[in-house]
Amino acid sequence: MSSCSFIYRCNCGNFKAKIIGLPVNSVVCHCHSCVAAGRYVDEKFGPKNTSVLRNGGAHITSFTAANIEFEQPDFTDAEQHVDLLGWLRIGQHGEPFRAYTKCCGTLVFTLATKSLFTYCGLNGNCIYLNDGITPLQPSAEPMNIMTKFAFDAEKVPEPKCNYVTLGLAWNVAKNILNPFVSGTFKGKDAMFYNERSTLDTVPITWE
């Protein structure tokens, strides 16, 4: 597994990382928050970005922290972080867990966990083979999850489930909470939202 490597980048290449190893999971989430965040940056930046959307949901591919080597920006440098990344919250009281690049509007984190945790959800449409040009194609269609909350549930293709599968829930839990999984984002606090970061509010339109 560790011999596999990929390039992760935004559409214009100003945000870039190297990924070693295979993903923890890859899904298309149809919950309102994930889809609304994807639609928001698509509408704001138009064709400049690499959209996170696939089959009407957000294509999220997760890797352990130890397998992600950020090249641009330097996440020990808070200035680079503030200059390159903007953050999204869902509604006025939401937490800013999703980040997009200011350069081209690509949603690059769909979940950025704190230092005690061990993995990060990435835009599944931004992963490339080592040439940095050829998109990584999944061997099978990713599971469409949370389809009970899809904006247009009838259009969601198979495979799909109303919430999440038991296998997926177990896989996520063991990778987040397992103390023996190596690597966290500790020491890279600049990759998380801070009071100087740009913050956009995605309106809640479904309540």
Distance CA 61, CA 34 (A): 13
Write out residues in the chain with pLDDT < 50, as ranges: 1, 116
Question: What pLDDT does residue 96 have?
Answer: 86
Question: What pLDDT does residue 136 have?
Answer: 92
pLDDT tens digits along 156-200: 999 999 999 888 888 777 766 665 555 556 555 556 677 778 999
Inter-residue contact 133 to 7 (CB < 8 Å):
no
Residue with tokens 């870039």: 16
Inter-residue contact 67 to 1 (CB < 8 Å):
no
Question: What pLDDT does residue 80 have?
Answer: 62
Question: What pLDDT does residue 13 have?
Answer: 92
Kindly state the DSSP code that residue 160 receives in the 8-state scheme.
Answer: B
